[in-house]
């Protein structure tokens, strides 16, 4: 069984620092899986898996639908199954962004039902 730690947060630099510290603490058997949603407006999310020795997997996920978490989940399950099957790794750290797009919803006027 592969233990998995899920890390999320809205402060990107802080989350990246914590993820790096967790990977270092996991030692040579640790794998860090990170998602980059900066290309989301272009319709893609990038998943990178790395160890202390470097990148072991990188995948550009093309969004066929608007559900980012669905795309990440499908990609993540597939990757974690393959990492566990290798039996070379002792722990996985998954780092996902904790914020979405900043969409502004229309404000309702006080006292008016919608």
Two structure tokens written together for 75: 């990609």
Is residue 106 one of the residues assigned to a domain?
Answer: no
Q: What is the domain-level CATH number for residue 41?
A: 3.40.50.300
Is residue 11 one of the residues assigned to a domain?
Answer: yes
pTM score > 0.95 for this model? Answer: no
pLDDT tens-digit map of 53-108: 999 999 999 988 878 888 888 889 999 999 999 999 999 999 998 765 444 434 44
The DSSP-derived string for 56-95 is EEEEEEE-SSS-HHHHHHHHHHHHHHHHHHHT--SEEEEE
Two structure tokens written together for 62: 């093309």
Is residue 107 one of the residues assigned to a domain?
Answer: no
Identify the domain containing residue 22 by its residue range. 4-97
Q: How confident is the model at residue 113 (pLDDT cuts 50, 70, 90)?
A: low
Is residue 103 one of the residues assigned to a domain?
Answer: no
Q: How many domains does the chain have?
A: 1
Is residue 50 one of the residues assigned to a domain?
Answer: yes
At residue 70, the pLDDT reads 83
Is residue 45 one of the residues assigned to a domain?
Answer: yes
Q: Within 10 A of 93 (CB to CB), how many other CB atoms are there?
A: 22
Is residue 112 one of the residues assigned to a domain?
Answer: no
At residue 20, the pLDDT reads 96
């Amino acid at each position: 069984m592969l233990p998995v730690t899920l890390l999320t947060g809205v402060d990107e630099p802080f989350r990246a620092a914590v993820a790096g510290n967790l990977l270092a603490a996991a030692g040579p058997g640790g794998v860090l899986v990170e998602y980059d949603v900066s290309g989301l407006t272009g319709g893609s999310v990038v998943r990178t898996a790395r160890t202390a020795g470097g990148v072991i997997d990188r995948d550009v996920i093309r969004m066929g639908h608007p559900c980012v978490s669905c795309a990440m989940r499908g990609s993540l399950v597939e990757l974690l199954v393959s990492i566990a099957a290798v039996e070379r790794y002792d722990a996985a750290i998954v780092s996902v962004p904790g914020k979405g797009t900043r969409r502004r919803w229309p404000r309702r006027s006080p006292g008016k039902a919608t």
